Amino acid sequence: MSENAAPGVAGDTQTKFSILRIYMKDVSFETPNSPAIFKDDYTPEVKLELNTGVNQIEPSVFEIVLTITVTSQLGEKVAFLAEVQQAGLFHIEGFDDEQMQSMVGAYCPHNLYPYAREAISDLVAKGGFPQLLLAPLNFEQIHRNNLQAPQSA
């Protein structure tokens, strides 16, 4: 991908953004109550947990890791637990502190999410359960909420 200005800073020749690589860092799928769980009617309660991590590799290169954990339960029994760590290397340069926070906290995870979403769907289907399609997420809003959370606490 060629270097481009990120959204909201079009025409700013001092900022640079590019995706260097997208990769799966870690994956886990567990069905602790199989095969007995397949005998029950499958009307699960599904819980979704999102986390992001940032590692600065070089002055302008960042590894962003989006971790998605999905837990499906039938009453007290865990049907499955799926976790994906979808990662990417991003070249990010020339942004002020607030813009940089938005880039690593929202824009980069937004780019990783479709890959993680597909991996979760594949894991669940291969585990013998009905396909699970995670809904699209607004990472910009999630990022804003996370920034406001410490202030309101």
More confident residue, 119 or 147: 119
* pLDDT tens for each residue of 100-136: 999 999 999 999 999 999 999 999 999 999 999 999 9
Query: Which own/partner contact pairs does 142-147 have at CB distance under 8 Å and 24+ positions apart?
Result: 142/50, 142/106, 143/101, 143/102, 143/105, 143/106, 146/105, 147/101, 147/105
Question: What percent of the chain has pLDDT above 70?
Answer: 89
pLDDT of amino acid 2: 43
Domains of the chain: 21-152 (3.10.420.10)
pLDDT of amino acid 147: 84
